[in-house]
Structure 1
């Protein structure tokens, strides 16, 4: 049997206020004064001096604010790479992503595409990247996606929504500063936290499960229950614990896979532009047949935090539109195999998926 030899984030710093150490972390990595660090920052922080004033700019370093109203697209990655190549004579010293899962994915994808020819859509899939990415750093400002630790970067391309899954995708450095998550809106906090919860459920109930994945998944699962169902945590404790739940949830799928909710959520994201966290919630709410215990807990969490999910999002879709979503979902074969085993096609048909989508 051939075991996968996955890379992990090689350096990580955790702690409230650790963002202040960014300058000393980056300086040894500067190639020369003409090779800038490029900072991709979620545009919700535009004008937020508390965060932006602490970004350590020098020489030709640049901050690029990125809107996250839509999920990252392959065309967006290609445009950013082209801008960097045209504006700088030398390859950047590094790419730093400061924001949520979308910004993490953009930073990882741009770092890869600066050293690999062609368009980013050519690398959607598993182990298609040929050359190491440039130095890249992830600094999450919201917890749950696991994008800070994963070996994938989820992109919506012209034909599908699929990650660049490769050994060169993980960050070289991650800074986990829970203080950066203090201003996350309540609904966003819930949706992204549930992305972590769903990671755990799909990993722990999958056919790919092993002791490695289980140890991380169980820890993240316990943390999610504590954060979203119990009342004894202070706000600071909850921030710290959710950041670690996100890390452990991401690690739980590093050596296994996600499942039904993620596969179907990709369909919603591709066709309707539904963002990943809320998409997972919309789908997971209807998956009692696949994850009965997990869905029961999810509904308790949803009720406790007064979350009302959008309804009827598929009510007016045409047959062709349903087919597009179904084809995107069915193309993610490793997710279905993890969820249901090698003979998953006997259980999951276009008709089964259409009936599920029609409930949403």
Structure 2
């Protein structure tokens, strides 16, 4: 048996207010005065001096504000890389991503594409990256996606939605400061929190499950139940626990894989631009057949937090559009194999997938 040697994030700081240590962490990593740090920051913080005033810019350091309203695209990565090359005299000292999963995935992808030739779409897949990326730091401002810990960057390309899965993708440093998540709107908090919950359900019910991924998945699942079903947590405790659930849920899938909800939500996202968290929720809501216990609990959480999911998003799609979603979904073979085993193709037909999409 040949076991995979997975990389992990080598350095992580956890604690409220730890964002204030960013400058101390970065200073020793500066290559020289002409090699700036580039900050990719969610544009919801554009007029938020509480966060931006704590980023200490020196020399040619730059903040690039980026909207997270849409899922990250390979073309967006290429444009950012081009912009950074034009902005800087030398290769940057590092890329710092500050935001949710979209910003963290963009930061990871940009760090890789600054040292690898071609376009981001050329690297969508498993272990296609040849060269180590530049130093990159992840600072989540919302919890649940696991992007801060994963070895992938989920990107929508011209032909598929698929991550750059590689040993060079994980961050070199992560700062987990739960205070940064304090103003997240309730629905957004729920959707990204459920991304974490669904990671756990899919990992723990998958055929790839092993003691390593199970130990992380169990812990994250217990935290999700506590956060989304109990009434005893203070806001601060809930923020801290969700940040830990996100980390552990991400670790659980590093050593296993996700399943049906993710495979199908990639189809929605590619065709309709549905954001990842809400897309997972829309799909998972209809997956009793695959995850009966998980879906039952999900519906309890949804009711408790008064979340209304969009309905009828596939109501007016053409045959071609259904086929596009089905093609994207079926291309994610490791996810289906994890969910249903090696003979998954006997169960998952195009007709079956279409019938499920039609319910959404």
TM-score (norm 2): 1.00
Match of 1:31 in 2: 31
Runs of 4 or more off by more than 3 Å in structure 1? none
Aligned residue number for residue 332 of structure 1: 332
Shift of 1:141: 0.2
Does 2:133 match 1:133?
A: yes
Q: 1:65 maps to what in 2?
A: 65
**Which residue is 2:310 aligned to?**
310
Aligned equivalent of 2:221:
221
What is aligned with 1:294?
Answer: 294
Distance 2:55 2:351 in 1: 51
Alignment of 1:155-304 (within 5 A): 155-304=155-304
Question: Cα distance, 1:314 vs. partner?
Answer: 0.1
Tell me by how many angstroms 1:301 deviates: 0.1
* In 2: Cα distance, 1:285 partner to 1:246 partner: 20
Deviations 1:270-301 (A, max 9, x none): 00000000000000000000000000000000
Deviation at residue 56 of structure 1 after TM alignment? 1.6
- Residue 93 of structure 1: CA displacement? 0.1
User: CA–CA distance in 1 between the matches of 2:286 and 2:342?
Assistant: 23
RMSD (Å) for aligned C-alpha atoms: 0.3
Determine if the alignment matches structure 1 residue 92 to structure 2 residue 92. yes
Q: Give the Cα–Cα distance (whole angstroms) in 2 for the partners of residues 139 and 96 of structure 1.
A: 8
**1:75-130 CA deviation, whole Å, 9 max, x = no partner?**
00000001111221200000000000000000000000000000000000000000
User: Which residue does 2:149 correspond to in 1?
Assistant: 149
2:349 pairs with 1:355: no
Match of 1:8 in 2: 8
CA distance in 1, matches of 2:84, 2:335: 34
Between the aligned partners of 1:56 and 1:8, the Cα distance in structure 2 is 28
1:14-46: CA deviation from partner (whole Å, max 9, x where unpaired): 000000000000000000000000000000001
TM-score, normalised with respect to structure 1: 1.00
SS at match of 1:98: strand
How far apart are the structure 1 equivalents of 2:72 and 2:145?
14
Deviation at 1:47, TM superposition (A): 0.8
Distance 1:236 1:353 in 2: 41
Deviation track 1:239-269 (CA, whole Å, cap 9, x = no partner) reads: 0000000000000000000000000000000
Return the alpha-carbon distance in structure 2 between the equivalents of residues 82 and 267 of structure 1: 29
Counterparts of 1:103 and 1:85, CA distance in 2: 19
Structure 2 unaligned residues grouped into runs of 5+: none
In the other structure, the counterpart of 1:344 is 344
Distance in 2 (CA, whole Å) between partners of 1:237 and 1:89 is 44
Cα distance in 1 for partners of 2:345, 2:185 equals 40
Q: Quote how far apart the aligned CAs of 1:350 are.
A: 0.5
Alignment partner of 1:106: what SS?
Answer: helix
| Count of matched residue pairs | 360
